[in-house]
Amino acid sequence: RKEVEQDPGPFNVPEGATVAFNCTYSNSASQSFFWYRQDCRKEPKLLMSVYSSGNEDGRFTAQLNRASQYISLLIRDSKLSDSATYLCVAGGSGSARQLTFGSGTQLTVLP
Amino acid sequence: ETGVTQSPTHLIKTRGQQVTLRCSSQSGHNTVSWYQQALGQGPQFIFQYYREEENGRGNFPPRFSGLQFPNYSSELNVNALELDDSALYLCASSSLDRRLAGYNEQFFGPGTRLTVL
């Protein structure tokens, strides 16, 4: 079983749609959680951190449920430029605090 | 741009060869982490270097090795290349203080795409 699991998609949605991504993690010692965005053949870039209280950044809302070990990302009013792969990430608690990535969910926003 | 650079951009090798990949960290960062990303997968942690010492390692065999220089740049070496080593190799730099809890953002370089034939 992978430490971080997410639906690979692909998700194909029309512009303006709301889309939700879900993710589960198995290591209860994970301390920090993130969503990264990766464009085709590019490096991952931090989209947002995820907190238990939930956090919002414009059209993006992230939520963490530690009891269920579940992370979500909601994108409202999808734009063509949102097309990318979204990676769910758990940050470790060891000295390296390495990142454990899910396999990514591919999103295509259609005109 | 993150200020993290990697070289080369692309590389083609044959099975059994050895390869060295390079990463220059962002100014002010003391830590470099290396990740391997196979096609269709998320990046997997290889190891991390903090102030020139290995500071954590993922589930990779000893033929994956590295080092960090006094200027905090880093190299990843892979010996006896196998076909499955074909991947995008990413380095990420960050500013780590092991005395403190919490997380410091890791900034990724553009990666080196390695093809093993």
- What tens digit of pLDDT does each residue of B76-95 get? 999 999 999 999 999 999 88
pLDDT attached to residue A41: 86
The answer to whether A43 contacts chain B (CB < 8 Å) is yes
Which chain B residues are closer than 8 Å to A96 by Cβ?
33, 45, 48, 50, 55-56
pLDDT of residue B27: 87
Residues B32/B25, Cβ–Cβ less than 8 Å: yes
Per-residue model confidence (pLDDT) at position B42: 95
Distances, alpha carbon A71 to alpha carbons A110, B107, B113, in Å: 25, 22, 30
Amino acid at B101: A
Tokens of A51: 């907190």
pLDDT digits (tens, 9 = 90+) for B49-63: 998 999 899 999 999
Give the angle A39-B111-A26 at the CA atoms, nearest 5°.
Answer: 70
- Interatomic CA distance for residues A103 and A28, integer angstroms: 19
Question: Is the pLDDT reported for residue B99 higher than 70?
Answer: no
**Lowest mean per-residue pLDDT among A39-43, A78-82, A85-89, B75-79:** A39-43
Could you report the per-residue pLDDT of A43-82, keeping only the tens digit for each? 999 999 898 888 899 999 999 999 999 999 999 999 999 9
Q: Which residue of B has its CA nearest to A98?
A: B45
Residue B28 has pLDDT above 90, yes or no: no
CB A90 within 8 A of CB A4: yes
CA-to-CA distance for A10 and A62, rounded, in angstroms?
20
Please check the confidence at residue B2 and state whether its pLDDT lies above 80: no
Of the listed ranges A32-41, A99-108, B66-75, B92-101, the least confidently predicted one is: B92-101
Q: Averaged over B6-34, what is the pLDDT?
A: 95
Q: What is the full DSSP assignment across A37-56?
A: EE-TTS-EEEEEEE-TT-EE
Closest-CA residue of chain B to A88: B42
Burial of B93 from C-beta contacts in 10 A (0-12 / 13-18 / 19+): buried
CB pairs under 8 A between A and B: 59
CB contact under 8 A, B45 and A100: yes
Whole-angstrom distance, CA of residue A35 vs CA of residue A71? 9
Q: What is the pLDDT of residue B100?
A: 62
